[in-house]
Every structure is written in C-alpha cells, then in structure tokens.
A and B are shown apart, each in its own frame.
Chain A
C-alpha cells in the first residue's frame, strides 16, 4: 500500500459499493436466504405442488423411521470415509511423483489431469462398461494375475469400490493443486535437512507435510462437501448397470444394485422431485445443510487468518 494516496481516495461511497455488489446481494437473498427460510417452513408441511397442509413434526418423525434415508446416510458416509482419503492420498502421491520427475513433467501432468475434465456422465458410462466382467478388459487383467474379478456395478458390496476407482481416476484437479503446493516448499529446507541426514520419509513428514498442511485442509474440507453432494456418478452407474432409466411416466428408484449406491442427495431428489413428498425432502435438505455447514465452519476458522489483512 502506498502512503502517497490518502486512504480516503479508496473509500468510495456506499452507493458505488452497493452497485457493484448488487447482483450478488440480490442473489444471496433470492437464491440463498429465501429458499433456506422456505425450506424450514415447508419442512413442517405436507406439500406436493398442489395442496399445502400443516403437519407439525410429522416429517421429522418420519425421518427416524425411513430406512432408505439411513441407508443413504450410511452410503454417503462410506464415500466420505473411503473415497475422500483415497482421492487425497492418491493425488498427493501422484503430485509428489510428477514434481520429482526429471523428464516429461509437462506431458505426465497433462495425462494425469485429463480424466478430471471428462464429463461425469461419460466417465461413469465408460467405467461401468470397462469394469463389466463380460465386456471389459479389467476382468481378464485381474484373471491373469490370478484374482477373480467381482461384478463391480452389479454387486452390492463392490459398487461403491467401483465408484471409488472412478473417483481416483478423476483426481487431476487435486493433483495440480498439490503440485503447486509442493513446488512452493522452500528448496533450502530440504537441503538443510539432507545435510542433517534426514531420510526421504523424515523430510516428507517434517518439512513437506507441515508446509502444505493448509492446502491439504482446504482441499479435504471441499472434498468432504463435494462428496456430501455425490449424485451424478452413483445415479448414472445405477441406471446404466441396471439398464433402466427415468423417463416421463417411468419411475426409476436409485441405488442399484439393491440400495448400495443410494446416496443422500439421490434420496432427497427422489423424495422431492419424483415422489413429490416436498415437505419431507425439506427435512432431508436441512440435515444435509447442517452437516455441510459444520464442515464449512471448520474451513472458515482456518480462513480467518487468510481473509484478514490482504484486503487491499
């Protein structure tokens, strides 16, 4: 900040600021605050787009008895507990590798990044076909190694691992973020540690990890929040593997095989927009909101230091 310019010059009138912010202020009210309040309101009602009826806490009570909702919660938590760490560790490993390559860094970075751009529907279709024992090469490859391959997206206990593989394939964005973080670690720290006789693992634990910790935390929280919204891949995999779909007039129940890929947002979607139990869908929405906001708060606490001071 230069001293020569009086701070007053930067302090523009309230109207200027409001004018610049106006699209978002309106958006926050219309697309954030209002629907949130309305979600709370509808959660006490039975509503199907035609008749609105006050039912008190009935929707909340139903949540306790709704087996599918808890299956959906369990499946979603499975993905948070398995897929998020798998993606983070894999991305970090690949990033470490690419950063240390002496030749072809740009080429490998491009190759590893590419799948993350593949449209989710397209990627999921490819994976369902790829992992299908009858049509894909994975079965033959595993067979050559003496492992009998499961029927991934047709087997309730293997569908989520299949989705995890799909998630690890699309890890490119995380890898690029981690590469940037790893390249930011000051060189001289490694050199000093090497002189002190620290091995590769020690260097990683004592230097790399603490330096990239903020980036790791940020990505971990955003990954958790994205996974809470996990919808497309599970829905498409179930549709393609079961060979059914929801067309006008045809009902599709998500989760195939059995209920193994039924995630929370899918159940919300199904309740709200296929069965039109909109009041109940609002209860599910509020549960999702509570969990997502808890994760966001973790992030914002970290963020305080970051948003302070650098507002020019």
Chain B
C-alpha cells in the first residue's frame, strides 16, 4: 500500500501517522458503542413500562418482554378503576395555581436582589439560599398546625397559598439570570425617568423570558411530581388526591393488576415527556443555570 492512498495530507501539515488514525477510529467506535449501550439502559425502563402497559394481566405477571396481544383497552380500564380525571384536575389546579402565584411573587424579589443596590442586599441573598436549602420537613409540624387551625389541612391549599410569598429556588434561579443583563439597559430607562416597576416590566422581563419560562416549567413539574406535599395535605380526603398520591396507592387501593398500574404510570409521565420535547431548550438552559459556578 502506498503511503497516502488518495487521501492526501493537507499541505504544510504532517500527515497523521496511520497508527494514530486507526487509534482515533477505535476510540470513536468505543465511545459511540458505550453511548448507545447507555442510551438503551436509560430508555429501557420507559420502554418496559410502555410494553407492560399494553399486556394482558396474565402476561404482565410473567417475565415476558413483548406483548402477545396488544391490549389498548388497558388505558380506558384505568379510568374505570380509579378517578383519574379527578386526580388529574387536582394536580392541574395545584401545579397551575402554584406556578402562577410563584411567578407573581418571585420575579420582583429576584429583580430587587439582582438589580437594586440596598443595604442588607447580601444578607437577603444569603437568606434566600439558606431557605432554598431548608428541608421542608423541618418546618412541617408548626405549619401543619396552623393550616389545621384554619381547617385547611386536608385540602391542597396549604401547598398553593405559600407560593404567594415567593419560592426560594425560583428567586435564586431568576436572580442568577437577571444579574447577567448589563446594567446599561436599566440605567438608560432610569435616565428617562422610568420607575423600577416599569423598568422591570418593560425592559428586563422581555429580556428574561427564557429564565422566566424555565422557572415556571420547573415549578410546574415540581408540583406535578410532588408526592410529599399532597401526601401531607389532602391525602386524608380521597377527593383531594393528586396523580402522584393516587398512583402510589393505585395497586393496593384498587386491587388492580400490574398491567393497569403500568398503564396509569404511563398516563402520569406522558404529559411531562410531551412538554419536554416541545420545550427542550428551555429545560436544558434552565438546568445549566442551576449549576452555579462558585
């Protein structure tokens, strides 16, 4: 074999030795095989849930992977066994209202922390971080007592109303984004005599749209997935169950088969995945924002 064989090295550059090239190709193959193997492992459980959801009850109890008969009726059966629409509605109410309230209360706080100078600003930020790190179980008992006194302990309101007071994680995330907007924009508006509220609404918010979208999505999904909260409040009243509470008790409660349990599981996680595919960029950028550099 001749040295170059059609593939000529670029002028002025040493040809890559063949051994190096073979090695690079082997590394390429090894890396991509590993990635494909990992991808199968990451997707495996989801595919498995979907396949089991379509099996007959008898087959679901075997180690079979592929459904003999495709039981599309399983999804309809889920609705006859459990009050899915009710759980769905409760979850939507919780997640929707909590997200709306969170945005209204958290955006101004994040704006002040990121873009206004005032004494105690640092302390306030440190307190936000401390609140973010505070496990919800620490304050659970006194808060439960307060809500019980208001007669709301077996509703979802104790999870919704507190979001009117800002959410530490969302405030922090928004603040991280807002500090990156150059000060010139708001200064120009200030010179024109704009008030801070106008600056926030007219100048800063339009620029912060991706961050606001990320925070809203995160909070919505946090509520959608939340199990601890709705188990603490509302789970004593069957009418106030959310999807996650219902799903966790689905099998024991309805003496239901595994295939239906997996069908219900699929119904709970499908909306999340659909939204993710439409808003993938928002998610990835938002997550990147959470990994703050120290």
Residues of A at under 8 Å CB distance from B?
A: 1-2, 4-5, 7, 9-12, 14, 16-17, 19-21, 23-24, 26-28, 30-32, 34-36, 38-39, 42, 47, 49, 94, 97-98, 100-104, 108-115, 117-123, 125-127, 129-130, 134-137, 139-140, 169, 173, 176-178, 180-181, 184, 214-215, 217-219, 222, 225, 228-229, 231-232, 235-236, 239-240, 243-248, 265, 268-269, 272-273, 278, 281-282, 285-286, 288-289, 292-293, 295-296, 299-300, 302-303, 305-308, 310-312
The number of inter-chain residue pairs (CB within 8 angstroms) is 341
6 residue pairs A–B, Cβ–Cβ below 8 Å: A17-B118, A30-B165, A117-B221, A177-B287, A248-B236, A310-B179
Interface pick from B70-78, B206-214, B246-254: B246-254
Partner pick for B28 among A17, A102, A119, A181, CB 8 A cutoff: A102
B114 proximal to A (CB < 8 A):
yes
Q: What total of chain B residues lie within 8 Å of the partner, measured CB to CB?
A: 108
Given A177-B287, A214-B293: 18 more A-B contacts, CB < 8 Å: A24-B105, A32-B134, A35-B143, A94-B38, A97-B31, A119-B225, A119-B272, A121-B268, A122-B265, A126-B262, A135-B60, A232-B228, A246-B235, A265-B135, A269-B140, A299-B133, A303-B129, A312-B115
Nearest-CB residue, chain B, relative to A131: B45
Q: Does B96 interact with chain A (Cβ within 8 Å)?
A: no
Given contacts A10-B116, A16-B196, A134-B63, contact A36 B126 (CB under 8 A): no
Known: A12-B196, A119-B269, A272-B144. A312 touches B137 (CB 8 A): no
Residue B99, interface by CB 8 Å: no
CA distance A217 to B291 in the complex (A): 10
A5 to B191: give the CA distance in the assembly, Å. Answer: 8
What separation, in Å, do the CA atoms of A112 and B46 have in the docked complex?
A: 12
Minimum C-beta distance from A227 to chain B (A)? 10
- What chain B residues lie within 8 Å of A289 (beta carbons)? 134-135, 138
B32 contacts A103, C-beta separation under 8 Å: yes
Contact check, A215 vs B293: say whether CB atoms are below 8 A apart.
yes
A236-B248 in contact (CB<8A): yes
How far does the alpha carbon of A108 sit from the alpha carbon of B232 in the complex, in Å? 38
Nearest CB in chain A to that of B142: its residue = A38
Known contacts being A176-B284, A214-B294, A300-B126, is A122 close to B52, with CB within 8 Å? no
B201 within 8 A of A: no
Chain A binder among B4-12, B15-23, B182-190: B182-190
Point out residues on B near A: beta carbons under 8 Å: 28, 31-32, 34-35, 38-39, 41-46, 48-49, 52, 60-63, 65, 105-106, 108-109, 111-118, 121-122, 124-131, 133-145, 148, 162, 164-166, 171, 179, 183-184, 187, 190-191, 196, 221, 224-225, 227-228, 231-232, 235-238, 243-244, 247-249, 251-253, 258, 261-262, 265-266, 268-269, 272-273, 276, 280, 283-284, 287-288, 290-294
In this complex, what residue of A is CB-closest to B34? A97
A5, B133: Cβ atoms closer than 8 Å: no
Q: Is the CB of B284 within 8 A of A113?
A: yes
Residues of A within 8 A of B261 (CB): 125, 129
Tell whether A245 pairs with B252 under 8 Å between CB atoms, given A10-B116, A112-B42. Answer: yes
Name B148's contact: one of A49, A292, A305 (CB within 8 Å). Answer: A49
Residues of chain A lying within 8 A (CB to CB) of residue B179: 310-312
A130 / chain B contacts, CB cutoff of 8 Å: 44-45, 48-49
B31, chain A: closest CB distance, angstroms? 6
Contact A300 B130 (CB under 8 A): yes
Nearest residue, chain B, Cβ from A268: B137
What's the least CB distance linking B263 to chain A, in Å? 11
Shortest 10 CB-CB contacts between residues of A and residues of B: A27-B165, A177-B291, A214-B294, A38-B142, A35-B139, A20-B112, A23-B105, A245-B249, A24-B166, A35-B142
A143 to B268, CA, bound (A): 32
Assess whether A117 is in contact with B227, with CB atoms less than 8 Å apart: no
CB distance A137 to B48 under 8 Å? yes
**Centre residue among B44, B62, B165, B171 by max chain A CB count within 10 A:** B165
CB-CB under 8 A for A135 and B63, given A23-B166, A111-B39, A245-B248: yes
Given A23-B106, A23-B109, A32-B131, A119–B268 Cβ distance below 8 Å? yes
CA distance A245 to B127 in the complex (A): 38
Q: Decide if A129 touches B52 in the complex (CB within 8 Å).
A: yes
Q: Nearest chain B CB to A307's CB is how many angstroms away? A: 6
Partner of B225, one of A42, A121, A218: A121
A32 to B134, CA, bound (A): 9
